[in-house]
Amino acid sequence: MLSAGATIGILGGGQLGRMLAMAAARLGYRCHIYAPEADSVAAEVAAAFTNAAWQDRDALATFAKACDAITYEFENVPVDPLSVIPETMLAPGIKALEIAQDRVSEKRFVEEIGGRPAPYMAVDHSGDLTSAMARVGTPGILKTRRDGYDGKGQWAIASEHEADGIRIPDTGTVYEGRVSFDCEFSVILVRASHGEVRFWDSTLNTHEGGVLAHSELPAPAIVSEQVEEARALAQKIAEALGYVGVLTCEFFATKQGPVFNEMAPRVHNSGHWTIEGAVTSQFENHIRAVAGLPLGDTASVADKMVMDNLIGGEALDMARHLADPAAHLHLYGKAEARDGRKMGHITRVG
């Protein structure tokens, strides 16, 4: 267990790192951010900041020596350079990163432990895409195997002729068949190093342009009917990985049961509501798990809750947002508003 005043390193300098650092500070911990971008919103609220490239092993080693434990705020941190960090210091761990960074590896891993992803086929060359469409069917969606998020690196394909001209990146892609679903929901859990697992309530998630726009409780009845099966799979994933910290798994609610979409080995946008809407937020419980502290209660504090992402320039109109006295406004400190960029979120509880 980390004592008060210890330093927790966070790999990544975005808004998730920012909210983790704020939660850590409330528990008496210092945070040290490591990020390749000089403009880091996480570093603004942290005690120390190392601005260096992911491939800079010397900088990573020095960073590790300054920390008592290390975690990460997003899943695209390159794995190879992390070998300079002692394995016992890093949570959730390297294995979770390796699997989550490759969509094909992720789907195969989930299948091996009994989960059901959407029908898919790896596509490494243009010829593979034709075979994939014939095998999986159309419509479908082609996704990069690595580095895609928030709708980036994806091509919707309604028919075979729409695949003409798509250049397959060197890192490969995966073709997924479209799933007929009623809604999307996520399962967010936290697992302690000794194996205790706790879940937050599952929200109904609405996406716009591949970006999460809205989460709400209570979720529809179909989610309530399928959440236990989805939780069982998420827990099997966590246990198979020896996971420590917050894990998010996204699902489609279908008439045949929950279909696994993807996992994120970190705190997640669909759990931002837990800051005001749960007894213990996802950010605090992640820090508790990494620090070896007892986990906090994950129960919701109200039956109704909504969380809206603020995307692009709309986030900067603070007066309009705060005209609603029930609004809990979170701005991430990003100076430049761009289309599709998450600038903040608002939660309303009760």
Enumerate domains of the chain plus CATH numbers. 7-90 (3.40.50.20), 119-177 (3.30.1490.20), 183-349 (3.30.470.20)
Does residue 258 or residue 144 have the better pLDDT? 258
What's the pLDDT at 23? 98
**Strands annotated E in 181-336:** 183-191, 197-199, 204-208, 211-217, 245-254, 257-264, 305-311, 328-331
How confident is the model over 279-310, as pLDDT tens digits?
Answer: 999 999 999 999 999 999 999 999 999 999 99
Q: What is the pLDDT of residue 295?
A: 98
> Cα(227)–Cα(221) distance, rounded to whole angstroms?
10
The predicted model gives 229-237 an average pLDDT of 98
Question: Is it the case that residue 313 has pLDDT exceeding 80?
Answer: no
Report the pLDDT value the prediction gives residue 165, as an integer from 0 to 100. Answer: 67
Q: Please, are residues 45 and 18 in contact by the beta-carbon 8 Å criterion? A: yes
* Higher-confidence position of 149 and 257: 257
Bridge partners (DSSP) of residue 142 are: 155, 175
Amino acid identity, position 68: D
| Predicted pLDDT at 166 | 76
Percentage of the chain lying above the pLDDT 90 cut: 81
pLDDT at 152: 66
> Does the pLDDT value for residue 336 go beyond 70?
yes
CB-CB contact of 35 with 51 (8 Å): yes
Q: Are 144 and 169 a contacting pair, CB within 8 Å?
A: yes
Dump the DSSP string for 252-276: EEETTEEEEEEEESS--GGGTTHHH
Out of 102-111, 211-220, 319-328, pick the least confident.
319-328
> What would the mean pLDDT of 71-88 be, rounded to a whole number?
95
* Sheet with strand 120-123: strands edge to edge: 120-123, 173-177, 140-144, 154-157
What pLDDT shows up at residue 222?
A: 98
Summarize pLDDT for 137-181 with one digit per residue, the tens. Answer: 889 999 998 876 655 678 888 777 777 767 788 788 999 999 999
State how far the alpha carbon of 198 is from the alpha carbons of 22, 157, 186, 247, 286, in Å. Answer: 22, 38, 14, 11, 11
Query: Has residue 125 got a pLDDT over 90?
Result: no
Q: What is the mean pLDDT of the chain?
A: 94
pTM metric for this prediction:
0.94
Residue 138's pLDDT is 86
Kindly state the average pLDDT of the residues 84-102: 96
